[in-house]
Amino acid sequence: MSATPESAEPQETQPRPGIDSPARWRPLRVWIPIVLVPLMALMRFVPTLVPNAPTMIWMVASFGPFLIGLVVMLWWVLASRARWFERVLGVLGVVGGVALEQVICDPSMRGPLLVVMTIPLAIAAFAIGAILAGRTLSLRRTWLAVGLALLATAHSALVRTDGVWGDFSFGVDWRWKPTAEQLADEEIRQAAKSSVDAPVDPQALLASLEGAPWPRFRGPQGNSAQTGRRFDGDWTAHPPREIWRHRIGPAWSSFVVGADRLFTQEQRLEDEVVSCYDAKTGQPIWSFATPSRFFESLGGLGPRGTPTLADGSIYALGAEGILVRVNAVDGTLVWKADLKEASGRTEPPMWGFSCSPCVDGGLVVVHAGGKGDKGIVAFNVTDGQVAWTAPAGEMSYSSVQKITLLDRELLCLLSNSGAHLLEPATGKSVSDYAFAHQGYRACQAQVIDGNKLLIPAGLGTGTRLVAFSANDNGLEGKELWTSLEMKPDYNDILVHDGNIYGFDNAIFACIGLEDGKRKWKGGRYAKGQALLLADSGLIVVVSEKGELILLRATPEGHEELGKVEALSDKTWNHPVVVDNRLYLRNAEEIVCYELATAD
C-alpha cells in the first residue's frame, strides 16, 4: 500500500521526556557556593586575623576548609537544582578522584593532608566549575565541575610536602625532584669519603669538652643569651662574613658546641642520626645512626630536640622516643633507652618527642607525657636505667631544665597544665603551678631576680610572671601579671635590661618586665627564632624564611640594623653564637658566619 502524502512528510521530533528535555534542566543555585568557596579560603587566614585567639585556632585553619567543603557537597546533593543523575555523577567524580589520588600520591600527601589539603582543593575546584557553568542546561556543566576536581586531585598526586609553615600554609614541591634529604645524604657521604682523619688525643679532647661554651639547648644558662664578646652593630659597613655552608639532613634541632665541634641531630634516609661536625670547616667528623624515621605531615620529617653535651658524652632524644648516650669523641654508643616503653606510651606525641635532655646529678631527665606518674622520666647516666618518674601534663614540646629558684636547685618543665617544679634527685614535686594552656607548649621558662618565673604560653594565653615563696608544702606561686601582648608559639623569648623581647605570634615585639605592657611591636619575621647578644645590646633574629636580622635591644622602638639572606627555606631552628662565629641551620642547610666584633 502506497504511503499517503501526509505519511510521507517528515515528522517533528519531540523532546524525549528524559535527559534531553530542556524543561527538565534548570540553572544551578550558585549563590551558595559563591559564598562558601571564599569562606573556605578565608579559613586559612583565621589565625592571622584573630590576634588573641587560643592556640587551637590552628585547627580552624587546618580543618575549617574541609568542613565547609562538606557543606558545599551537601549543597550539591540537596539544594543545587542539579538533576539527580548529575548529583550522583558529581559525588562519584569527586570521591573517585580523591580515592585515585590516594592510591598514586606521595606518602607525605596521605593522612592529615588528605583532609587538610586534597579534599578541600577537589571540592573547591568542583564548586568553581559548577559556578562557571551554572546556567548551562546540559550535562556539560557537571563534566566541567568533575574535570576541575580531577585536575585539583592530580595536582596533589604530583607534589609532596615537607610540612606546614607557621601560618599553616603548606610547603610543597614536585615529587620527582630530589629531596633535600637525598641531596644532603649524598653530599655528606662524599665528604666522609674524601675526609682525612686527623689524629685525636681523646683525653685532651675530653678535657676541652668539659669547658664547652654552648653545652645545651639555648646555651649555658638556657636563655639564648651570648656573653663575653661585644659585636659591631653596623652590618652595613661590616656585614656577617660567610665562612662555610653545607647541606644537612632534616631536623628542627639546634647545636651544642664544644672543642671546635658542632653536635646536632638530623634525618638521613631511614635513620635518625646524632652527628658531629668540625666547627671550623663544617666537615663531618662522626655520626651515630638509630633506625627510626618520624614524619608528620604538619611538622615535617626528622628529630625535634637538641642534644646535650655533658661528661664527655652526647645525650639525644629522637622523635620516636629513642634516647641515646654516645661518646662525644668518636660517636660510639654507651647505652640506649626507649622512652615509650619507660612511660607506657604506645605512640609518640602528635608532633614527635621534642625534649632536649636535661643532664644533672648523674641523671638525664626528659618529658615523656605518659599517664599517671609517667609524665617525666629520669634515667641513670651510667646505664640508662629508669631512676624515677613523676607526673606532669601530657601535652608538652618543651624541655626539662635546671633552674635555681629561691636558692634551691630545681627541675622545671612547662606543660599544658602549667609549670612543674621538682627535686632533681628524686622527682618529688615542689610545686605544680597551674597555668593551663589549651594545646601544646613549646617554650622555656626563665628565672627572674631569683624568685620569679617568667612563663610563656602562646596564642590565646600569653606570658605570665609569677613570684614564688616557700610554704610548708614546697613553693607557692603568685601571679604578678599576665600579658597577651607577648604570645610566643614555639619561639622562645629573651630578657634584657628590664624588658622582654620575642615573637608576639608572627610579629617581633617588646614588653616591659615589670608590668607586661607593650613597648613596641614591629618586624614581620613570621615564626622565627631569636638570640640575645647580651653584652652588645643586640638581638639576632632568624626569620622563618631564613633571613638573619640584627636589631637593637631597646624598649624605645623597633630598630633594624641589618639583614642578610642566610637560608632559603623554612627555619625553625635556634641560632648559636660561640666566640665570633654564628651557626645556623634548618632542615636543608647548615651555615657559619663570622661576626665583626667591637673590640
- The pLDDT assigned to 50 comes to 67
CA atoms of 233 and 243, how far apart (whole Å): 19
The one-letter code for the residue type at 326 is V
CB-side exposure of 397: number of CA atoms within 13 Å?
A: 24
Phi, psi of 560 (to 5 degrees): -90, 125
Q: Which of 353, 460, 545 is nearest to 60 (CA)?
A: 460
CA atoms of 596 and 538, how far apart (whole Å): 13
CA 478 to chain centre: 32
Contacts of 509 (CB under 8 A, 6+ apart): 485, 486, 501, 502, 503, 518, 519, 520, 521, 522
The one-letter code for the residue type at 367 is H
* Ranges under pLDDT 70 in the chain: 1-23, 47-57, 196
CA 555 to chain centre: 29
CB-side exposure of 241: number of CA atoms within 13 Å?
A: 9
C-alpha cell, 566: 642566610
Phi, psi of 506 (to 5 degrees): -110, 10
CA atoms of 312 and 38, how far apart (whole Å): 57
Where is 125: in which H helix or E strand? helix 119-132
The one-letter code for the residue type at 465 is L
Q: Measured between alpha carbons, how far apart are the two ends of the chain, in Å? A: 120
3-state secondary structure (DSSP) of residue 500: strand
3-state secondary structure (DSSP) of residue 48: helix
305 close to 321: Cβ distance less than 8 angstroms: no
CATH number assigned to the domain covering 180-193+201-594: 2.130.10.10
Q: Which of 365, 360, 403, 371 is nearest to 386 (CA)?
A: 365
CA atoms of 316 and 307, how far apart (whole Å): 4
CA atoms of 520 and 509, how far apart (whole Å): 6
CB atoms within 10 A of CB 497: 10
CA atoms of 74 and 64, how far apart (whole Å): 16
C-alpha cell, 207: 678535657
Contacts of 581 (CB under 8 A, 6+ apart): 243, 279, 592, 593, 594, 595
68 close to 43: Cβ distance less than 8 angstroms: yes
Q: Which of 115, 117, 110 is nearest to 295 (CA)?
A: 110
C-alpha distances out from residue 67 to 37, 58, 108, 551, Å: 12, 14, 22, 42
Output DSSP code: residue 546. Answer: S
CA atoms of 498 and 286, how far apart (whole Å): 43
CA atoms of 541 and 560, how far apart (whole Å): 10
- The ranges assigned to domains in the chain are 18-174, 180-193+201-594
Digit-coded pLDDT (tens) for 436-478: 988 788 999 999 999 999 999 888 899 999 999 999 889 999 9
Where is 204: in which H helix or E strand? helix 202-210
Output DSSP code: residue 116. Answer: I
- The pLDDT assigned to 394 comes to 87
445 close to 421: Cβ distance less than 8 angstroms: no
C-alpha cell, 308: 646535650
C-alpha distances out from residue 221 to 213, 390, 407, 413, 447, Å: 10, 24, 16, 15, 10
98 close to 148: Cβ distance less than 8 angstroms: no
- The pLDDT assigned to 459 comes to 81
Contacts of 483 (CB under 8 A, 6+ apart): 462, 463, 464, 511, 516, 517, 518
Q: Which of 460, 468, 467, 452 is nearest to 486 (CA)?
A: 460
Residue with cell 614591629: 522
Phi, psi of 432 (to 5 degrees): -115, 90
CA atoms of 447 and 431, how far apart (whole Å): 15
CA atoms of 469 and 475, how far apart (whole Å): 6
Supply the pTM of this predicted model: 0.91
Sign of the alpha-carbon torsion through 103, 106, 112, 118? negative
Rounded to 10 degrees, the C-alpha dihedral 292/216/314/527 comes to 20
CB atoms within 10 A of CB 483: 18
Q: Give 245's strand partners.
A: 591
Mean pLDDT of the chain: 92
